[in-house]
Amino acid sequence: MAMKDFTKTLTAGLSRLDGREVVIVGDVGVDEYTLGQVRRISPEAPVPVVEVEKEEARLGLAANVAQNISGLGGVPRLVSVVGQDVGADQLRQLLRAADVPVEHLVVDSSRPTTRKLRVMVQNHHIVRVDYEKKKFLAQAVEAEVIKQVKTALESPKVVALIVQDYAKGVISESLVKTCVELAKAKGVKVLADPYRSTPLATYKGVELMTPNHDESIALSGVGADELRASNDTLNEIGRVLMEGVGSKTMVITRGKDGMRVFENGQVTDLPTNAKQVFDVTGAGDTVIAALALAWGSGFTLVEACALSNIAAGVVVGKIGCVPCRREELLAAIATL
């Protein structure tokens, strides 16, 4: 299906997104960048000395999903866990600047706020330093997260709930089960952006997942022999994933090959809309943000996927985790 076939429908329907709320549950973090030049080797050890010229901080992980919802005209309700530290203060400041409410963040003083510091020279990584604790939440903390999910779902404007998993510890099988029950009781769509090493059963009950190609293979558990025996590898993987979580819909993103949409036995391929690719970081966040907001706002699944495909094409033309803005999306649709 050609992307230009969606031009009129998407342009006319964008106003439906305004004010619609999406609950995002998952790991959050801050992406920090220290940029500079190397002109000498340290006399203390055989390592380069980076002369710092610029420092930046951006929203990462599920916080990037939230800022994409905001950038597209929706209202994100971000539910996550942060530490009691400078990183949490920095994260809240960045969220407020991106028009993302912070009242659903739960504080856990036993763990640090996730931060990833990248030292870079002329767009080349020198080193990355991670501040994080990969461990499931204590029972009391998870109970507080569930309380915040319930509160966020009380708004009648909520149209979707996203489970955003980066395997830092917020997402567990028990939390997903409760989120699914709470969301479905409100008539709210439930989507998941899975992590490749998380057991597939964790996402049982979600209506839609958006793994990329490599994640879909890892999550399916389909072995090499089975893949060779299949007439259509990707279709078989999609079937296994849908069966595993009990859904009738699935979206597998395929990078330069676009995305494949599974819906009630039908398969639709959408080509990529990226004009140029500088950095794929955060593209998956943009996909699920735009897809959830559009699907929950009344677009058909294929229309919502087309919209998310276009939005992803916008952000891969930039460096780092950045959101797709409504005006950028409109401009991209106009070029179809």
**Catalytic positions, written as ranges:** 285
| Long-range contacts (CB closer than 8 Å, 24 or more residues apart) made by 5-10 | 6/303, 6/306, 6/307, 6/333, 6/336, 7/333, 7/334, 7/336, 9/303, 10/303, 10/306, 10/307, 10/310, 10/333
Q: How many CB atoms lie within 10 A of CB 39?
A: 9
Which segments of 119-263 does DSSP mark as H helices, in order? 139-152, 173-185, 213-220, 224-229, 233-245
- For 72, 100, 304, 306, the CA distances from 15, given in Å and listed in that order, are 10, 20, 14, 16
Which strand (E) or helix (H) includes residue 191? strand 189-193
Which letter does DSSP use for residue 103 in this model?
T
Q: Which of 283, 279, 301 is nearest to 292 (CA)?
A: 301
Q: How many CB atoms lie within 10 A of CB 256?
A: 10
> What would the DSSP string read from start to end of 3-63?
GGGGHHHHHHHGGGGTT-EEEEEE-EEEEEEEEEEEEEE-SSSSSEEEEEEEEEEEEEEHH
Which letter does DSSP use for residue 325 in this model?
P
